[in-house]
Structure 1
Amino acid sequence: MILSASRRTDLPAFYSDWFLRRMEEGMVMVRDPHHPHLCRRISLAKGTVDGVVFWSKNPAPLLPALPLSLGIDCSLQFTLTPYGSPLEPGIPELNRRLDTFRLASDILGAGRVIWRYDPILLTKRWTVEEHLKVFQKLVQVLAGYTYQCVISFLDFYPGTAQRMKAVELLPLAPETCLWLAKTFQQIAAEYGIQCRACCESSGLLPSGFPSSRCVDPDLFPKAGLFHQRDRGQRPGCGCAPSVDLGAYGTCLHGCLYCYATHNFPTLKHWQRNHDPASPLLWGKPGPNDQIIPWEDRCSDQNQLRLEGW
């Protein structure tokens, strides 16, 4: 079993203590995002977890515990974009994040820290020319600390369009996406970094443009998932099956383009409902919750049960 920690929230930035405690105690519960009173009880006992994929914009709180505290293979999807406020109001300034990226690479190895330049969007401030200039600088700084850069263009989810009105988005024409992707690919290649696309199956990218597998089975050979695809993810996603430990609506970064948090005013509520000692990321199991044991080795049968998660 591979753990995803997490597509739904920045678990390394805000909930590292909770995650490490769950690993130490060997058990976690995850609420079904579509049925909040349905909780899956997942064993994290020794031998059941083949690896962990972390997703973060600021994994600094977790890094001191890696890799010795886990003792298992890890990879890190590190989103490093330069937007700052108002698009990304809650993340540290860029130089601090670059330092964190280099530290993560020193700890995990350059092959296990994947840089995400994601999402790509256009505004009066963030023009095509500005993206190219900043991307070039970031590639130069990160050369040798990563071998892969994952790109994707902005997708609109419920709530995204309304929040993004504050920054006056400019249209992203297909030919612009195509040209940017090719140019990013050429720039990155000069520094030994391969550029890949995440879930870009809409024809925006050139034929043959490599796709990413963010949950990459090549990094977790013990899991034996080389020919399996996570059918609970979007069309075009090439990730191997994983078990996500996060919860939507709990990330505190406040990024305007976020797909996982729809109601920012409720974030304080989620903070109050987080207990590092609870098996659940937010709240505790209650009398109305149905707890279902989740026996897993990511088999095809189990993957069918996970569809829609």
Structure 2
Amino acid sequence: MDVSPAAQSARQPRVISASKRTDIPAFYLPWLARQVEQGWVDVPNPMFRHARDPSKFAIRVSLRPDDVAAIVWWSKNYGVYLRARFLDIFSRYDIQYFHFTINSRRDDLAWLEPDVPAEATVIAQVEKLAQLRNPDMIAWRYDPICFWLDRGQRRSSWDPGFFERTSRTLASLGVRSCYTSLADPYQKFVLRLRAYFPHVELRGPEAEELHELGREMAHIAQAYG
């Protein structure tokens, strides 16, 4: 399917999600900026990635401001986005919503997210985004919460001290939304985990463990609105 920008303009504007598949703001923003200047982007259909000509199944999406209702960003690092050049390019879109994944930087959890910016760096990024945009347009994602066995010992990435500290800091910046989830042990993830961390085995949380985590999380979140 090949939809021209002109054809799309006759339809309702789209919400552009950038992106739940990969971290576009952190790694691919120059590419997206070029597509914005071009005025459109071809989105591959993952169902046909092994087809003889996958481009035949791509969907062309207009990126002209009149055709974009909003951009929803997903990232663990908005450092590139906050550069003057990219702020200028994306300022043409009036409505932008920022999902910002910020998990604990505790030393024993570094193997889960080894290349994310330091805690102070991402808090500074949130502060800058809140100044540039309405803080109501920023959502903190504390996810996914992982549960595993490390050489038989039960472990999890839940860090109440970090959650309390970050809740307090982000609330002071006007950020009021927090989303969380539990890690989904899909097959590709399990296979990679076995290859790189053979001593680690994913597990599901026990009912009482999950109940206590939810109770503690809710208590902290309510304290900061």
Q: Which range, TM-score by smaller chain?
A: 0.7 to 0.9
Name stretches of at least 5 consecutive residues in structure 2 with no aligned partner. 1-13
SS in 2 for 1:91: coil
Displacement, 1:170? Answer: 5.1
For residues 276-299 of structure 1, the C-alpha deviation after alignment (integer angstroms, 9 at most, x for no partner) is xxxxxxxxxxxxxxxxxxxxxxxx
Letter of the aligned partner of 2:163 in structure 1? F
Cα distance in 1 between the residues matched to 2:22 and 2:185: 18
Tell me which residue corresponds to 1:157: 186
Q: Is residue 137 of structure 1 aligned with residue 183 of structure 2?
A: no
Q: AA paired with 2:34?
A: R
Please give the TM-score of this superposition, normalised by the length of structure 1.
0.57
Amino acid at match of 2:182: F
Q: Deviations over 1:56-80 (max 9, x none)?
A: 0011101233376333200000000
Choose the corresponding residue for 2:176, options 147, 151, 159.
147
One-letter identity of the residue aligned with 1:89: P
1:73 aligns with 2:100: no
Q: Distance in 1 between matches of 2:22 and 2:154?
A: 25
Residue of structure 2 equivalent to 1:58: 77
Distance in 2 (alpha carbons) for counterparts of 1:133 and 1:29: 43
2:65 is the counterpart of 1:46:
yes
Letter of the 2:87 partner, please give it.
L
Residue identity matched to 1:173? E
Are 1:14 and 2:39 an aligned pair? Answer: no
The answer on whether the counterparts of 1:2 and 1:49 sit within 8 Å (CA) in structure 2 is yes
Q: CA 1:130–1:27 in 2, change beyond 3 Å: closer, same or farther?
A: closer
- Contact kept, 8 Å, 1:110 with 1:144, in 2: the verdict is no
AA matched with 1:51: A
- Larger % of helix: which? 2
Which residue of 79, 91, 97 maps to 2:122? 97
CA distance in 1, matches of 2:121, 2:191: 30
What is the 5 A alignment of 1:257-268?
none
Aligned residues between the structures: 192
- Runs ≥4 residues deviating over 6 A: none
Cα 1:101–1:46 change in 2 (3 A) is closer
Structure-1 residue corresponding to 2:3:
none
* Structure 1 vs Structure 2 CA RMSD: 2.3
Taking structure 2 as the reference length, the TM-score comes to 0.76
Which structure features the higher share of strand residues? 2
Q: Distance in 2 between matches of 1:126 and 1:4?
A: 36
Question: Is the 1:66–1:107 contact (alpha carbons within 8 Å) kept by the matching residues of 2?
Answer: no
How far did 1:113 drift? 0.7
SS at match of 1:66: helix
Identical positions, percent: 30
Measured against aligned partners, the alpha-carbon deviations of 1:189-230 in whole angstroms (never above 9, x if no partner) come to 1112xxxxxxxxxxxxxxxxxxxxxxxxxxxxxxxxxxxxxx
Determine which of 111, 135, 138 is the counterpart of 1:113. 138
